[in-house]
Amino acid sequence: MPITHLDEYELWQAARRLAHNTISERRRVLTQFFRETSVQPAHADPLIITRWIAEHDTWADSTIANYVGYLNAWFKWLQAHDHRADNPMVKVGTPKAPTRLPRPLSGRDVQKLLSAPTRMSTHAMILLAALQGLRVHEIAKIRTEDIDLDRQTLRVKGKGKKPAELPLHPIVGEWSRRMPDRGWWFPSRHYPSEHVQAKSVSRTISDQMRRTGVTGTPHQLRHFFATQLLADGADIYTVRDLLRHQNVATTAIYAQLPDEVRRDAIDRLDPWQSVPRLHGAA
């Protein structure tokens, strides 16, 4: 039995230009809810939703927060389109979002990834993640035309297809000479006129991490990028700009200030440098 209103909901999301991953994840969660409760998601009441969440005691706090967000978006849409009068999530409540900490790969791990033998395209993916801070879906869509070697810039389309122009890292610029003369850097194997999917980029980098004994995820290369910028003296607002975040709070999740930088800041703290010594003070 199909889920009531789901096709209409997906069409609305696509028209709003929501990310494909967002649409597919919302469908997956609604499908899982329907399969496990035998209740049409459009007709679910607060008790059923709460019980469904409570039964999955192995879910991480972040998973629960995401799923509650997906359900809330679903019921708000149902209300806005006159498919339902109330939003049961008001009674379910919003779980406290878990505290997220930066989790960058270490410089040694990144060196291992870049030093290990691999395909030219895989190496390029790792460079774009570690030295340009690109997300996997941004890496998938890189074209030779996005590289301007004269101006040393890189054009990318980020979340919501928002364009940005970034400074080109010299190593990425040099590596670009080995990539195709035009078109996609990473064309689809089955459809060469199209680029690979983001999950293909993620899988390719993950496989290389596994081969080299590096523990982590491809997204942690973006955390490395942010952390290394901060460690090398870039201020948090510059890091935010290069990551293309809307606010510094999000950037703080990515950039981990190294212990030696924090220690140096404490060691250099001297009240007598900024405040004139009081007359007659010992």
**pLDDT, tens digit, 9 for 90 and up, residues 117-173:** 999 999 999 999 999 999 999 999 999 999 999 999 999 987 777 889 999 999 999
Round the average pLDDT of the chain to a whole number and report it. 88
Rounded to the nearest angstrom, the gap between the alpha carbon of residue 21 and the centroid of all alpha carbons in its chain is 11
Three-class DSSP category at 169: coil
Least Cα distance to 244 among 154, 177, 146, 152 occurs for 154
List, for residues 81-93, the tens digit of each pLDDT value: 999 999 999 999 8
What's the CATH fold of domain 6-92?
DNA polymerase; domain 1 (1.10.150)
pLDDT reported for residue 282: 46
pLDDT reported for residue 22: 87
- How many angstroms separate the CA atoms of 9 and 25, rounded? 13
pLDDT reported for residue 259: 67
Q: Is the pLDDT of residue 253 over 70?
A: yes
Task: Assign domain 107-217 to a CATH class.
Answer: mainly alpha
More confident residue, 28 or 258: 28
Region 67-90 average pLDDT: 95
Alpha helices in the chain (DSSP H): 6-15, 20-37, 46-55, 61-80, 89-92, 107-115, 120-131, 136-140, 170-175, 198-212, 219-231, 236-243, 248-254, 259-267, 271-274
| Domain boundaries, given as residue ranges, for the chain | 6-92, 107-217
Tell me which of 104-108, 174-178, 217-221, 276-280 is least confident: 276-280
Q: Is the pLDDT of residue 195 over 80?
A: yes
More confident residue, 95 or 244: 244
Tokens of 18: 């929501």
pTM: 0.67
CB 102 within 8 A of CB 257: no
Tell me which of 142-151, 195-204, 241-250 is least confident: 241-250
pLDDT reported for residue 102: 64
pLDDT reported for residue 156: 93
